[in-house]
Structure 1
Amino acid sequence: MSRLPLTIAAVLGAAAFCTGSLTLPAPAGRADIVPVLPVTVPSVHEFTPGSGYFDLASGAHIVASGEAAPIATRLAGDLTRAGHVATPGGGAAGPGAVTLRIDDSGPPQPESYRIDIGDTVTVTARTTEGAIHATQTLLQWFSQSTVLPFGTVTDWPDYGERGLLLDLGRKFLTVDWIKQRIREMAYYRMNLIQLHLSDSYGFRLASISHPEITSPQHYSRAEMSEIISYAADYGIEVMPEIGFPGHMNGILESHPDLILHPATTSPVDAATDSLLAGTAQGRIDLSNPAARPLIEDLLREFVPLFPGRYFHLGGDEYVSDYSRFPQLTDYAHTTLGPQFTGQDLVADTVNRAAGIIRSYGKTPRMWNDGIPAGGRIPVDRSIIVDYWTGGNGLIPWIGTQNGPESLADQGFTLSNASFTPTYWATGGTAAALNSPPELLYAWDPALFVNGTRLRADQRDRLLGSKLFVWADDPNAMTEQQMVDPVRARLPIMAQQLWAGTKGNPYPVFVDQVRAVGNPAG
């Protein structure tokens, strides 16, 4: 079998990243073998070395049963596509074989796994997710060398949420392109993909309740089911987002009577709406009695179609100056009571939507600026908040009202969606603010966009983060042109959230990414 030599930088990176790793004498007559544990991206947490070497057998047997059997089948297929020959099955594991086990003897951390390397390689995990992650570690190793030093790897993620967002509401991306990104995410042991399905340029799902809103370019139910199933095979959860009450352009194009119009518009307001990519045309008028039924129809139609734990309801960039929209406060007075305002109308709408999502056994999520400030009705604390801006869409780095600490104290769970440096846009105004990969690599996932951090006692309120791929200008790039910028950033986000960079120099990390390559097929 062919073996790809590691670069010197990647070898040094392996020693730096793997606790207890060391260089051992090469086996007799095997000077072609680099005698270290191959690198992985992200790096593994712990390696306790032994004495001796495992060599993957030609026609390697991947042994598994029960819920581990389909994972073994996928590993065998991945190894074969990577240039090896591997077959799954049951029975005993001889020298050079790999065994997958899912049982309670695995390490206790969520998504963790242990790999014992001796004459055979044995993977042990408590969950299917942990076993899937372990197979990707094996695939990265065997893509570099079929010989491994004896020892034990124990590995787990620092953050429970490690994701990618794709802005499909602005730019339609093919099913195959999405599946390729899912496969790469799994290779880097990530676990959540957010599909932003409705925005300025379209509504990307085939709606039965409101067929008039379905864009010409959309995903059929069969196509979305294919994406969900493919993601599940590799341990990736799909989180849909249908945003409201803002960013509803793709929906309101067929319902222009429901667009929210301001009582007054200044030049500053007009400029703001222009910079925010047509925000004004995407706001639904919550004072119109037909607004809520439309939103609720779509939630009841689409929430049950996605088997994951979450449904994202958006909430961002609706109204910052309620004085421009007195009809919202007037409607709140009529429907909620004379003491309530436009902010309360928004909070009540969000809470009703969250209730629908919870009725299907799922957890609602929203963007942090969708939580109105100054109202009497509190937003439901069960909603997970993606914190992307300290202020507003134009100046996200400034502002502490409803900041991360305050939201955590109120009982919210957070994900760090820091505009800088986790966002990358294909074009439009936001593209000028794209952070280079080096800045993302220097970032700390616990640092929010406004420069604040959660207190130590709030740390369990932070789930993790995602790489956010936006398409403010859908025509700025083809989907093929988007591949390299995403590939440059995805492994960085994976490393940050799994184990941190631990001071490893960025050029060395780039060499490690090259060493593990991309998943074959």
Structure 2
Amino acid sequence: MAHLESFDPTVPYNVRRFRGLTGSIGGVPESSSHFGRRIRRAAVCFAAATTWAAVHIPPTQANPVAAQQLPSTVPSIQRWNPAAGEPGFTLDAESRIVADGASDDAARRLAEDLTPAGRPVTADADHDRPGDIVLRTGDTGIADAESYRITVTDRLTITADSPAGMAHGTQTVLQWLRQSTTLPGGTAEDWPNYRERGLMLDTGREFFPVGWVKARIRDAAYLRMNMVQLHLSDTQGFRLASTSHPEITSPEHYSAEDIRDILDYARSYGIEIVPEIDMPSHMNAILAEHQDLVLRPARTTTEDAARDNMLAGGIGGKIDLTNPAAYRLISDILHEFVPMFPGRYWHLGCDEYVSDYTRYPQLSDYATTTFGPGATPGDVIIGFANWAADIVESFGKTPRVWNDGFDHPGLLTPKPELVVQYWSASAGGLPWLPGGRTPEEFTRAGHPILNAAFTPTYFTTGGTAAAVNAPPELLWVWDPGLFVDGQRLPDSERSLLRGSMLFLWCDDPTAMTPEQIVSPLRTRLAVMAQQLWAGTGGIGYPDFVGRTGAVGWP
């Protein structure tokens, strides 16, 4: 891999990264623009905070598999108990996949996956015999819904008490058998450290073909992840075919049949799709034909215009929440599309609406008129989020939001049911700088939280933010408990931390083709999977790169 050519394992990574940041960041030299210098200073601060945090992070409880002639997996499994004297397992031309009724779908998928890897087997058998792969529904003895157990004797038996656990078990077996047709005797017991492990695809800005999306779903499943978030609308496009408002649908979009295809494929691999239509900002594609609903400022200086263009697609991307027609349009969209997706969640967005409310006095007037004396403009976005959440919940789903929309305190409080994806510590500034609500403020109010730290969970293909893309090594020394502001949740609220994702953003949709995105995305996705499943404790990054190479990709 190109990024390892100058890798010196004798120098601690945080030291190397800090040295690099004090010179230039991703090609932004010290003498660059004012914004570049601000990014540089903020990134240096973040690097210093991450260096301190990494040094003080206690080792994770991961128990990677010892050598034992057992092939590598990515992520590593939690526990391997070798069995002395067991004959071990051999996959040969007579091997079959034998499944109970509850595991038939997983068996068929495993058979399909083994065939292109050079391991032809069938999923049609009633009784197991030596050399068979056996899928059984049953108690794993592990208190985790996604756990599984693999017993290796003259048969290879996967036991799980949930479809998710069975899906993960089959991927481990697939990784093993792609490397070796013989396995030593023993028992693997495995479970994830975090309940949400995923990948987000920004197809709102850069349209990705159905086949490409499915391939990324397959990559995530291969790494025992369980979520793929689809960012379906943004500045450049609205990617769903709307019948209630056909005028908002972009030329490049997913038909209802395309969505069913994606959902069915994801379901077959145990991946839950989390759809997102970003509101009330980033709505350029929706508002292109609804210019009367655009939120317009009372003043716009040159600096204001630059910030608008950088953060939320310009003025044309924000809908006017003081206009009743805005709520009717959004209600139509939610009522049309929320039922289309069978998963548990719907992401409302709620990010980057307004950072300087003095430019929008109409929001202040609306707040006091609607919510009463003492209300602030920040109550408008909270009121919107609670209103939209009610619609989402009426379909039996849980709403999700980005955190920064709630950084301006007022009379209202966000519904505690909202799952908060925490990406930025700043109230309208650079994401590493303080000023907004802290992660603990959200969990103290009862919100489940996902760590979406701008650095290092974001990978941006182009635009200003691409200058501070974190290399995979920084993602390796980070851990999912460390938020972008350098804080961690107190022990009493750590159970509310759901996990994290790798976030692909396409701020400049022309910067990289879908094919060019795959390699850097996969490199980071493998690291994120290891972080979330078993942690990186006890594994060096060069060793992990070797494991990833051995396991390959589906």
Instruction: Give 5+ residue unaligned stretches, structure 2.
Output: 1-60
Offset at 1:17?
7.7
CA distance in 1, matches of 2:67, 2:541: 22
Q: Which residue of the partner structure matches residue 354 of structure 1? A: 389
How large is the Cα RMSD of the aligned pairs? 1.5
Cα distance change, pair 172–19 in 1 and its aligned pair in 2 (3 A): closer
User: What are the superposed Cα offsets for residues 275-331 of structure 1, whole Å, 9 maximum, x if unpaired?
Assistant: 225242211111112111111111111111100000000000001121211111212
The 5 Å alignment of 1:387-406 reads 387-392=422-427, 394-399=429-434, 401-406=436-441
Cα distance change, pair 393–184 in 1 and its aligned pair in 2 (3 A): farther
Tell me the amino acid that sits aligned with residue 44 of structure 1. I
CA distance in 1, matches of 2:62, 2:381: 48
Please point out which of 36, 44, 56 is paired with 2:77: 44
Offset at 1:110?
1.9
Q: Which residue of the partner structure matches residue 108 of structure 2? A: 73
Tell me the amino acid that sits aligned with residue 77 of structure 1. E
Tell me the amino acid that sits aligned with residue 241 of structure 1. E
Cα distance change, pair 400–265 in 1 and its aligned pair in 2 (3 A): closer
The answer to whether the aligner puts 1:470 opposite 2:505 as a matched pair is yes
CA distance in 1, matches of 2:64, 2:534: 12
The 5 Å alignment of 1:333-352 reads 333-352=368-387
Q: 1:21–1:49: 8 Å Cα contact kept in structure 2?
A: no
Further displaced range: 372-381 or 189-198 = 372-381
CA distance in 1, matches of 2:435, 2:141: 42
Percent identity over the alignment? 54
The answer to whether the aligner puts 1:500 opposite 2:535 as a matched pair is yes
CA distance in 1, matches of 2:312, 2:358: 22
CA distance in 1, matches of 2:88, 2:382: 61
> 3-state DSSP class of the match of 1:495?
helix
CA distance in 1, matches of 2:143, 2:202: 35
User: What are the superposed Cα offsets for residues 413-460 of structure 1, whole Å, 9 maximum, x if unpaired?
Assistant: 100000000101110111111111111111111100010000111111
CA distance in 2, matches of 1:188, 1:105: 20
CA distance in 2, matches of 1:344, 1:397: 24
Q: Which residue of the partner structure matches residue 56 of structure 2? A: none
CA distance in 2, matches of 1:393, 1:446: 23
User: What are the superposed Cα offsets for residues 138-164 of structure 1, whole Å, 9 maximum, x if unpaired?
Assistant: 000001101111000000000000000
TM-score by length of 2: 0.87
The 5 Å alignment of 1:136-147 reads 136-147=171-182
Q: 1:332–1:345: 8 Å Cα contact kept in structure 2?
A: yes
The answer to whether the aligner puts 1:447 opposite 2:482 as a matched pair is yes
CA distance in 2, matches of 1:326, 1:277: 19
Q: Which residue of the partner structure matches residue 52 of structure 2? A: none
Q: 2:81–2:186: 8 Å Cα contact kept in structure 1?
A: yes
Tell me the amino acid that sits aligned with residue 267 of structure 2. A
TM-score by length of 1: 0.92
Cα distance change, pair 17–296 in 1 and its aligned pair in 2 (3 A): closer
Please point out which of 316, 325, 331 is paired with 2:351: 316
CA distance in 2, matches of 1:242, 1:266: 30
Q: Which residue of the partner structure matches residue 121 of structure 2? A: 86
CA distance in 1, matches of 2:304, 2:250: 29
Q: Which residue of the partner structure matches residue 333 of structure 2? A: 298
CA distance in 1, matches of 2:283, 2:448: 26
Offset at 1:393?
5.3
Q: 1:347–1:372: 8 Å Cα contact kept in structure 2?
A: no
Q: Which residue of the partner structure matches residue 323 of structure 2? A: 288
Cα distance change, pair 57–428 in 1 and its aligned pair in 2 (3 A): same
Q: Which residue of the partner structure matches residue 148 of structure 1? A: 183
Tell me the amino acid that sits aligned with residue 365 of structure 1. R
Offset at 1:372?
4.3
Q: 2:439–2:489: 8 Å Cα contact kept in structure 1?
A: yes
Offset at 1:408?
0.7
CA distance in 2, matches of 1:390, 1:294: 31
CA distance in 1, matches of 2:224, 2:156: 19
Please point out which of 50, 54, 66 is paired with 1:21: 66
Q: Which residue of the partner structure matches residue 413 of structure 2? A: 378
> 3-state DSSP class of the match of 1:89?
coil
Further displaced range: 271-280 or 161-170 = 271-280
Q: Which residue of the partner structure matches residue 430 of structure 1? A: 465
Give the aligned length. 492
CA distance in 1, matches of 2:545, 2:458: 20
Moved over 6 A (4+): none
> 3-state DSSP class of the match of 2:324?
coil
Tell me the amino acid that sits aligned with residue 73 of structure 2. T
CA distance in 2, matches of 1:443, 1:273: 31
Cα distance change, pair 238–65 in 1 and its aligned pair in 2 (3 A): same
Q: 2:88–2:184: 8 Å Cα contact kept in structure 1?
A: yes
Q: 1:332–1:342: 8 Å Cα contact kept in structure 2?
A: yes
The 5 Å alignment of 1:202-281 reads 202-276=237-311, 278-281=313-316
Cα distance change, pair 18–105 in 1 and its aligned pair in 2 (3 A): closer
Q: 1:59–1:87: 8 Å Cα contact kept in structure 2?
A: no
CA distance in 2, matches of 1:283, 1:404: 26
Q: Which residue of the partner structure matches residue 8 of structure 1? A: none
Instruction: Give 5+ residue unaligned stretches, structure 1.
Output: 1-15, 24-35
Offset at 1:104?
3.0
Q: Which residue of the partner structure matches residue 420 of structure 1? A: 455
Q: 2:367–2:376: 8 Å Cα contact kept in structure 1?
A: yes
Further displaced range: 83-92 or 253-262 = 83-92
